[in-house]
Structure 1
Amino acid sequence: MTQIALPRSSGRIDTRQLAPPPPAQGPRAHHTVRSVYAAAHVVPAAWGENVPGAPAEVDWGSTLEFRRHVWDLGLGVAEAMDTAQRNMGLDPAACRELVERSAQAAAEHSRRHGVPVRDLLVSGVNTDHLPDAPCSPAQVVHAYREQLEHVEGTGSGAVLMASRHLAACARDASDYAKVYAEVLGAAQAPVVLHWLGEAFDPRLRGYFGSTEVDEAMDTVLSIIEADVDKVAGIKMSLLDARAERALRSRLPSGVRMYTGDDHHYVDLIRGDGDQHSDALLGAFAALAPRASEALSALESGDAETYQRILGPTEALSRHVFSPPTQYYKTGVAFLAWLNGLQPAWTMVGGLHSARSLPHLARIVELADECGALSDPAAAAERWHHLLGTHGIEGPAVTGGRV
């Protein structure tokens, strides 16, 4: 058994015996019981100047290998979304290159396995290449259409991300309706809309024209119904299961609800017998093997096993996505590092410093509880190296204070 040290915010250091590793999973076919995308993070070049405010220097080999890992588990990848630190360290030029490289890798996987590229990859379309300054709705439309043309040109599916620029310049719901109508009119294929709540980005408060969720929901529905053939679905990330179910029940036929609720995804994906949500989740980047195993159970009609596998992961996800929620990316990258999916504990923009050591310790503990550590002994070794850089001894500690 592998023992680890867990520093607490009180200064106490507890110890824990890690569980045996979960069964290893080999490559499997693409899941079809639900349409599921893991919103993937990026791996920085450990030697890069990845300090706050600097352009991102990406370790492309490790970043693309992580995407292949997700595809091999039968999941799709949502690229260049907020999980990839968009607007929080990943600059527009790096976003553009990330989409291009991932689309090329997705095309290679598609040729080998016969899975359509758009099932493997959807990529974020935003307005983040505009200056962070006041702009007009017309400028927002032009910026959206520039990025949409680029994403569609790579062969990737598109996600129209919530725009900080639109949130700042829209006077009311009608401005949202006009902007989305023009952008959807330019789409060459159906896209996924994106409703990101202020917990993830405070600058998106009142998106779709109201701080009242039900009023904003009416605007979203009017946008979808005005050009339903151009909307494949909507990703909803409000951490509000009631609101998601309410909107889901009102969506036109053929328009999918992609849950982005990293607190309640287990029940939302399983569904209530009449309706279910598909998924576009940052949590599934951290939990891809467990998510894949649970979806396999769901495909065989075994809802009980699905619940047994995926249910315990929600405690981990809730902690990773705890306030301030926008720093959840740190937990996603931390788990990738623990599981050997990136070589160094660093993030672009220096964001690896955004969570405390006790917060990370709780991630280790919860990951162990739900089977999210693929190799517990290797994870423990990495964790204790990190503790050592903070002046904390490893598994020999049995209690006391730092």
Structure 2
Amino acid sequence: MNAWTRRVVIGTAAISMALSVAACGKAGSDDKKDGGDGKTIGLLLPENKTTRYETFDRPLITKKIKELCSDCDVSYQNATQDTQRQKKQFDAMVTQGIKVIILDAVDYKATKSWVNQAAAKGVKVIAYDRLAEGKISSYISYDNEKIGRLQGQALVDALGDKAKDSNVVMINGSPTDPNAPFFKRGAHTVLDKKVKKIVYEQDIPAWSADEANKKMGAAIDALGKDGFQGVYAANDGEAGGAIAALSKHGIKVPIGGQDSELAGLQRIIAGTQTYTIYKQIQPQADSTAQIAVALLKGKSISSFAPTKVDDLSGEVKDIPSKLYDAQVVTKGNIKDTIIKDGVYKVSQICNGQFKAACDKAGIK
């Protein structure tokens, strides 16, 4: 079995939104602390266009670290999709004496030299969500190839009996994100067997919704309005960009995304997006915080990271890891997943123009 396909059973912890997001500062802020006291954990997130990072990942990780270590501090920075900025942030944390850094890399290949230099100084780096290259101490993410398979199957299910005669457009993720090739590979394993043909396929730099919009427009120009029957989009942001292009041309076909963003869920309620992928962030955030505090205190992390994976280069092997599962969300199960787990309230999803659609779907 390929190390990337190993997975562990996801915890059943439901996401709680009883968080004080405001207390954590503004998106993209550079909260700097002196880490030389041995009680500071660094947290570097890649961007703030995808709403999950500032809304969920940052406050959840910070909250859990403080629960586990009341006198610990979290030094947080967001790279706003800028690799060089993230490098400066990372190097500054090492210079400040921070010995544990949680890193969600903008460009996973670019991190190799930073991580290796930090490791030589005794710094423990936890690869969060994306497997950065270099001598990583631990990796916490999802079974990303399985997520791709879930996305592909959800699109096939939406196409129904017409799937085998359907052409599909694929709008893939960012080339600098190590997860993107696994989403793509997983989706292809399903779509290549169950649809007629992939007629147009593009990777989208930086997960840009604007670029997804342009590529979808180019696909429509090349194929015609009737030249495809479904669209695979790697995440909800890209789905939103693609849907705008489809709507402009009066095209309505099944299309899905990933991340269960609020806007994506509202599009599902409205009927313009077909599905998304729900990844429970709290278990991932909690495991990361547990590992970070254990590393800070010099304790074993084996119980928190029972799986082993190799990095994409093959140079770093047997990285202690934990890989979580995910699930497909459609209009039919938003109530029993997203709302039940407290990710978003009905009042957040079903406001304004979406209220009537929510009422019709029985979401009240």
Please, what TM-score do these two structures have when normalized by structure 2? 0.32
Q: Please state which structure has a larger fraction of its residues in strand.
A: 2
Q: Please state which structure has a larger fraction of its residues in helix.
A: 1
Kindly indicate whether structure 1 or structure 2 has the higher relative contact order, using CA contacts under 8 Å at least 6 residues apart.
Answer: 1
